[in-house]
Amino acid sequence: MNSSTIYKPTSQHPSSLFPQITKCKNMRHLTQVHAHFIKTSQIHDPLAAAEILRFCSLSDFRDLDYACKVFNQIREPNCFSYNTLIRAFSEGNDDEALRALLLFHQLVFDRFVLPNKYTFPSVLKACAKRGRLLEGKQVHGLIVKFGFAYDEFVVSNLVRMYVMCGEMDDAHLLFYENVVEFGNGGKLLRDKRRREGNVVLWNVMIDGYVRIGNFTSSRDLFDKMPQRSVVSWNAMISGYAQHGKFMEAIEMFHEMQIGDVHPNYVTLVSVLPAIARLGALELGKWVHLYAEKNEIEIDDVLGSALIDMYSKCGSIEKAVQVFETIPKLNTITWSAMIGGFAMHGQAKDALDCFARMEKTGVKPSDVVYIGILSACSHAGLVEEGRFFFNHMVNVVGIEPRIEHYGCMVDLLGRAGLLEEAEELILNMPFQPDDVIWKALLGACKMHGNIEMGKRVAKVLMDLAPNDSGAYVGLSNMYASSGNWEGVAEVRLKMKEMDIRKDPGCSWIELDGVIHEFLVEDDSHPKGKEIRLMLEEISEKLKLSGYRPKTTPVLLNMEEEQKESTLHFHSEKIAIAFGLISTSPGATLRIVKNLRMCEDCHSSIKLISKIYKRGIIVRDRKRFHHFENGWCSCMDYW
Ligand code: ZN
Ligand code: ZN
């Protein structure tokens, strides 16, 4: 939630009285006006001094050292001057927040000045900054002492302070004291005597519960609140999205769409990542259109979110379109675009984009390099990858993170440079994690290096004993070299340790609604039709000469259980549903949580040909664009 919803200007500014100050465009101008004021003694006018102070404290050109000097020159600073400087410091970093508290202390002991209700929000903000609960509680005491305990504005900020310090119990107590009372039967009654429907206070509480991931309480408050503002909706939507509850975020957004509170800029920025993760292209397009229709500015932030959404929903063309219309590109926008190209295997475009970025003088961030390195990795550009990695470290001076090493291991591993990849892992300046070892294990399987594979699997099993990854990888490796004894041994071990594989799950979006399918799922209202369609697909696949892989099916083990006639992988169920629910020729877009198995991959190629449909599947690794019997990954994923 945006704190500006609580923040209100300290008071009305008499700036119109001093056009010379209003016109200042930097601190140099201001010092000239200041000097002039001193020369003409105009500085002794308290309003003039206050305006000078306001400019160097709160304008875009603020200079807090200068502000302190001005403040110290004021003979008898009033509450307004204190408030100005306290507010300026409270908005700064941690050290500055501390100075805000010291100034407040000075104010309390200044016998000519009393704090007013505009003093406390800044002071509370300064307390919240680093969770200074003790100071916050003392300020709470002073709020009571100075008679602001019933001021709606002060109380919202007080509750917010408790929320930010993680003291939900105290926040809750204060909230209930101020907003609601329980009637006799435990029924919730609104306290009409006091601030009925103080939306801000409710929002602060909702935001607090969302922050700590307590969605039961936040949802409960959200449902009970007498009146919801756009901030209430945004707090819930962004909270769900940030905590990985993408489906809930989108449901909430749908609920909002039919209500009378309209989504704003923050809503769109909050919901887009959830849409991207679920690959809900139609909904994403709706958001884009909504922004355009309602003249919500598509700036670098919203634009980057749209680019990311379009790339992750499989529409790289639309991502490029958005990219080209953003007036000011920042490093996040560039990395969204480069990451998008990488995800779609368009390495050349990613590299071109990077070159363009360098030309515009935007400094590449570490995230940009992750995009570039993974683009190189997808396209097997070993030399380029090495070059960019070294360039990043030695020229740009970015400390590589484990993700960068991960990309390099992937790149070297795919190219068969297994020793080099292993050496890189062992020489990293930090502990390798399971992700990076899994990348190497995958490469060992790809290149049939059983010796190294066993070694890596052993490390992985020690590192993450309950993760199926190492077992699956090892078993796959044995299977591909025909070592069925090895496969059986691994399977037995998995059974002994009760290690389960992640359940497969796929999504497809139709008319903005996301349909989720699990393996063997027939819970869908159209379950019967889907089942019939799956049978039809199997029949047509057989007629076109397709034979499911008959290599020792029982022992070979992918990430998922093998398919059978009674057991379809979730992406096939989603495709069957898509085929019966869309008009002929429409492209189907599916998102799958695991890596697609080889069997599904080859049958979807045929389905795209038989049913004349473009099918786009985003699996855990990358995008597959299926068209007329082919896949964009060229069977390499
Ligand atoms: Zn499959
Ligand atoms: Zn593919």
Q: Which ligand is nearest to the CA of 595?
A: 1
Give the model confidence (pLDDT) of 409-428 as tens digits. 999 998 999 999 999 999 99
**Same domain for 517 and 610:** yes
Q: Whole-prediction pTM value?
A: 0.75
Q: Which ligand is nearest to the CA of 600?
A: 1
Say if CB 538 and CB 565 are below 8 A apart: yes
Question: What one-character DSSP code corresponds to residue 394?
Answer: I
Q: Best-predicted range by mean pLDDT among 221-225, 289-293, 598-602?
A: 289-293
Helix extents (H) in 109-151: 119-129, 133-145
As for how many domains the chain has, the answer is 2
Q: Which ligand is nearest to the CA of 626?
A: 2
Strand partners, 516: 507
Distance 352 CA to ligand 2 centre (A): 24
**Same domain for 622 and 530:** yes
Give the model confidence (pLDDT) of 212-256 as tens digits. 899 999 999 999 888 899 999 999 999 999 999 999 999 999 999
Tokens matching residue 227: 């009146």
**Same domain for 469 and 554:** no
Distance 620 CA to ligand 2 centre (A): 12
- Report every protein residue that has its C-beta within 5 angstroms of ion ligand 1: 569, 597, 600
Specify the range with the lowest mean pLDDT, choosing from 270-274, 450-454, 502-506, 571-575: 502-506
Q: Which ligand is nearest to the CA of 563?
A: 1
Distance 407 CA to ligand 2 centre (A): 20
Distance 31 CA to ligand 1 centre (A): 71
User: Is 73 or 564 the better-scoring residue by pLDDT?
Assistant: 73
SS3 623: strand
Domain extent at residue 429: 401-501
**Same domain for 576 and 532:** yes
Give the model confidence (pLDDT) of 69-83 as tens digits. 999 988 888 999 999
**Same domain for 585 and 491:** no
pLDDT for residue 512 is more than 80: no
The CATH number for 420's domain is: 1.25.40.10
Sign for the CA dihedral angle at 349, 351, 352, 357 comes to: positive
pLDDT for residue 192 is more than 70: no
DSSP string, 503-556: PPEEEEEETTEEEEEETT---STTHHHHHHHHHHHHHHHHHTT-----SSTTT-
Q: Best-predicted range by mean pLDDT among 234-238, 328-332, 376-380?
A: 234-238
SS3 408: helix
Within a domain: 110: no
pLDDT of residue 16: 62
Strand partners, 517: 506
Q: For all residues of the chain together, what is the average pLDDT?
A: 86
Residue at which a domain ends, from 501, 517, 539: 501
What's the mean pLDDT in 361-389? 92
Q: Percentage of residues in the chain with pLDDT exceeding 90?
A: 51
What's the mean pLDDT in 271-281? 93
**Same domain for 589 and 529:** yes
What's the mean pLDDT in 362-391? 92
Distance 448 CA to ligand 2 centre (A): 21
**Same domain for 555 and 449:** no
Q: Percentage of residues in the chain with pLDDT exceeding 70?
A: 91
pLDDT for residue 181 is more than 70: no
